[in-house]
Structure 1
Amino acid sequence: MNDLSLMTARELGKYIKGKQLSPVELTKHMLQRIRQMDGTLRTYITPLEELAIIQAKDAENKIMKGEYLGPLHGIGVGIKDNKFTKGIRTTDGSKLFADFFPSESATVVNKLLHGGVIMLGKQNMHELAAGSTGTNPFFGTTRNPWNLEYMPGGSSGGGTASLAAGLATLATGSDTFGSIRLPASMCGVYGLKPTYGLVSTFRVFPSAWSLDTVGPMARSVGDLAIMLQVMAGYDPNDPAILRVPLPNYSEAIHNDIKGIKIGIPTYYVKGLDEDIAMLFRRAVVQLQYLGAEVKELEIPELEMSTFSGYLTVGSEAAAFHNEWLKTHPEDYSPDIRSFFLAGSLMEGRKYVQAQQARRRMVQAFEKAFQEVDMLLGPTIPIKTPKFQANWVKQNLDVVKRTLPFTVPVNLTGVPALAVPMGIDSNGLPAGMQFIGRHLSEQQLLQVGNAWEQLNPLQFKLRAETDNKTL
């Protein structure tokens, strides 16, 4: 049996179901690894050692009695700390909520618990889920396991870094303007931003109501599929939830992708760092080798993404934080405070214009999906940056560079799957995202799984390796 901490949930689940691996043994192994490494990586705000052992013993007892709950039973999960957990501190990565203990759990947490998961802890995140670097002056800044001098991305950086380091088997994220996909890219893992309304956001701290989504993160596409199966579904407590039948997300995951039409908006190939451009060009060739049909598309409406994204996120976040900004301004870090205060100054006229731009982008995507099955682009246009001393300015700069690439998916409500596409010249991962029409998660997972079989993180930037690969 391989190192337990780096195995996928599907691999571990086979051993657990067959009673060859004890959930208690697995959980103790993961907790020991967290104790050894997380003082440096800071992927958890609140580890839950005692609770995790209790849950693991309960899982083991059920399994021994033949009460197996499914592929997540006995598997360790990290819970992003913006999701309410009953009786367990839930900070949203913020000083404002450092002592908040909810009286009930988020719907998505309850769904996962009913599936038999073990909660390893509440995971670190960029403050209030409103940044892209993983910097947190209140609970410690998460480090990228590939190189501690580099950022893990945000806001779900605690989850993606824990996956990359083997401090969790699965993790939950949220994505308002890229917070699952961006850190997945920087840490070399897989993350799914579902269709808006597919997964309940009830009792999840809001960032921007009309954009917030909750989704799974893992070290394999197959694990995303089994997580989504449990996380998705109708919730009467969430007014934005979709009432739709759920497919079996794992059913077609091993199908080939011959004949699938993938469009590359020219918007996504502008202004790329050299390494990102090189890796993306090679990824396109690899997808064609797998049988996909790839073509470039013009979607000029995407140029409205930055305008609409800043106004929508800033305005809605400022509305939620209005009173706290007045009464506790010192409890916000400078970058988040300035972002929210700018949002509070937005005119209603500008907000309406931003929503009109969103509508035009939705229509443009619908038109594009008449030509192709899905879209593809780099997740972000830049290589993972090193941490800088002036972290406030860096946080704002990273958002400025990356938001145009991630926020179109949020503004239009469509799903997107973030996958690694290779290693850059600094030895860190880079990623790309498959973007689908509404409720096309099953097809995205199918294509993502085919891509995963190429083992993208083994790719190198050396020209001789490129020639051998292609």
Structure 2
Amino acid sequence: MHVATPVTRRQLIGGAAGGLFAWGSAAGAARGAPSHRLPEPETVKTTDPASMSAVEAAALLRAGRLHPRELLDSCLARTRAFDGDIGSWVRLYPEFAYEAADAAGARLARARREDTDLSPLCGLPVGLKDIFAVSGLPLTASSRVLEGNIAAGHSGVWRRLEQAGAVLVGHTHTDEFAIGLTTPQVGNPWNTDFSPGGSSGGSAAALAARFVPLAVGSDTGGSVRMPASACGVSSIKPTYGRITSHGMIPLTWTRDHVGPMARSLADAALLMSVLAGADADDPITSLGPRVPEGGYPVAARGGASPLAGIRVGVSTNPAPVPAAAVQRVVDMFLDLLRSLGAVTVPVTMPAMPSSLATGDRVEMGSYHQQFGDRLGLYRPENGGLAAAAVASLAVPAGDYFMLERDRIRFQSEYNRMFAEHALDAVAAPGCAVDGVRRGELLGVAVTSGAVADVRWANYAGAPVVTIPAGRSADTGMPVGVQLGARPWQDAELIAIGLEVQAALPVWRDEPVLAESIARAPEVPRGTPGAGPDPTNTSGAAAPVRTPPMNPVG
């Protein structure tokens, strides 16, 4: 087994820090809000690098008190020792990762010598959901349908991460083609008899198990929010079009959102600061307002009533209705909001147009029609869903675009609800059920909304953060809460979530893992696929993408 190199006490509390960095340093505080600062290295008390938060590890990496190779050693050693029963990884790329770690170490050392700025992600390990292309590495969407497929180029997500100096550890499991809501290949680190949620279940499990501090998922119908809630980690479903989806295997183009995931909301915001912004390969990313200067906040401002004046809507018509044990945790969360100064307001969420489900199937069928000769290679329950999606292509084009009008009406009603109640956010359970056993709910698509009230955010294109709120008294499984806002209010929403998470730091709780040797293959980088799409498949690029409506009021 690969043995981790621990950070020594001397490294943590002493040693030369080298130069300071403008982003997040004391010297740079005058140029940006304190909420954008990394912690001071002396405040980091965690000694195991794999258990450090991303912002803590970033602070030590910048100060020269931790080397990217040491951090990677610790993450890989933990993965190799404990991932067997969890199964969060499809494939690991240690050779590729160590090359990146050494390059990041050199970049960090040069930046200290020259007293220059550098991305806070430099040297941080990350996992990618198995739908994001990395040139020369396998890309299979956790499906036999794409067995042997090699990415032809970089996804926009990985291009940004690589430029920032992030270290790719591996691809995490998704429910096959991101279709379902359980990711049955993966066990929940809190209890491997339970599902980690889907479809970004592998990413959430890898975070909860402390295999990586950062991961990227996607959310078409709650696919980062439900796994984050189920595994006790955090996620951001940004405004639609805020992060590029170029080079990503799609589920439905008009609902797919790239989602930063991490153990804490601060860590997820650090990741989003690198991922968000315009990408020439994905024109929709240029249509919204600019990313805030300095990125997104990573620390709470604090104070006696940090949420004074904030109004949070609470749905009177959740669908589905949460289990009693889940609702008890959510009620305590709402009590905390009020204790921080927020006002909660009962609201009726706009009705979901049933016609939009047909549009989802048409978009899914448009991509999956290329695999018509491989339906027998899907998992049986997903093969039926894929075949039905392909059959839906018989829907007349005029009908499809009329369905898009329903989406616009829904977005208008959602924004009007915020304006009429003067809301800053809405709150909802991250998942309505109190845990799902592995093997349950197979063949239920994430677009169905079967286990959580999540679809409103995908159809509205609105940003949502999900943060851990506690654990069920009945099952012991984590419970998360969603906080949503109006489109393009990502920064304001993250700031609200950071205040709540500072007062409720349950994200620091770690599951107790049973030793179980990892089974994921360790794969070297090879020759890129033929392309031309980075995914090395057909029809991945979206033919139709429209930005969400500007908020009313």
TM-score normalized by the length of structure 2: 0.77
Tell me by how many angstroms 1:249 deviates: 3.9
Verify: 1:158 aligned to 2:158, yes or no: no
Pick from 359, 366, 371: which aligns with 1:312?
359
Tell me by how many angstroms 1:108 deviates: 1.1
Match of 2:103 in 1: 58
Match of 2:425 in 1: 374
Tell me by how many angstroms 1:344 deviates: 3.2
RCO higher in structure (CA 8 A, sep ≥6): 2
Deviations 1:356-389 (A, max 9, x none): 332221011111121211111112211111124x
CA separation of 1:287 and 1:308: change in aligned 2, threshold 3 A? farther
Tell me by how many angstroms 1:123 deviates: 1.0
Amino acid at match of 1:431: G
- Match runs of 1:30-429 below 5 Å: 30-66=75-111, 69-135=118-184, 141-243=185-287, 244-247=289-292, 248-251=294-297, 253-255=299-301, 256-268=306-318, 271-299=321-349, 301-304=350-353, 307-324=354-371, 326-346=372-392, 347-348=395-396, 351-352=400-401, 354-370=403-419, 371-388=422-439, 391=440, 393-396=441-444, 400=448, 402=450, 405-424=453-472, 425-429=474-478
Tell me by how many angstroms 1:116 deviates: 1.0
Report SS of the residue matched to 1:328. Answer: helix
Cα distance in 1 for partners of 2:429, 2:368 equals: 32
Amino acid at match of 1:408: W
Contact 1:263 1:294 in 2 (8 A): yes
Report SS of the residue matched to 2:321. Answer: coil
Verify: 1:18 aligned to 2:69, yes or no: no
The percent of aligned pairs where both chains have the same amino acid is 28
Amino acid at match of 1:102: A
Cα distance in 2 for partners of 1:245, 1:162 equals: 31
Structure 2 residue runs of 5 or longer lacking an equivalent are: 1-45, 510-553
Tell me by how many angstroms 1:274 deviates: 0.7
Deviations 1:191-242 (A, max 9, x none): 0011111100001011101111112100111111111111011111113323
CA separation of 1:229 and 1:459: change in aligned 2, threshold 3 A? closer
TM-score normalized by the length of structure 1: 0.90
CA RMSD of aligned residues (A): 2.1
Contact 2:447 2:455 in 1 (8 A): no
CA separation of 1:253 and 1:440: change in aligned 2, threshold 3 A? farther
Report SS of the residue matched to 1:62. Answer: helix
Cα distance in 1 for partners of 2:110, 2:320 equals: 57
Q: Which has the higher Rg, Structure 1 or Structure 2?
A: 2
Which of the pair is proportionally richer in helix? 1
Structure 1 ranges of 4+ moved more than 6 A: none
Amino acid at match of 1:407: R
Structure 1 residue runs of 5 or longer lacking an equivalent are: 136-140, 461-470
Report SS of the residue matched to 1:121. Answer: strand
Match of 1:463 in 2: none
Cα distance in 2 for partners of 1:400, 1:437 equals: 23
Contact 2:277 2:291 in 1 (8 A): yes
- How many residues are matched? 448
Report SS of the residue matched to 1:161. Answer: helix
Contact 2:72 2:101 in 1 (8 A): yes
Verify: 1:3 aligned to 2:48, yes or no: yes
Tell me by how many angstroms 1:252 deviates: 7.9
CA separation of 1:410 and 1:108: change in aligned 2, threshold 3 A? same
Cα distance in 1 for partners of 2:355, 2:432 equals: 19
Cα distance in 1 for partners of 2:437, 2:486 equals: 35
Tell me by how many angstroms 1:443 deviates: 1.2
Cα distance in 2 for partners of 1:134, 1:286 equals: 32
Contact 2:187 2:438 in 1 (8 A): no
Tell me by how many angstroms 1:289 deviates: 0.5
Report SS of the residue matched to 1:223. Answer: helix
Cα distance in 2 for partners of 1:124, 1:187 equals: 15
Tell me by how many angstroms 1:313 deviates: 2.2
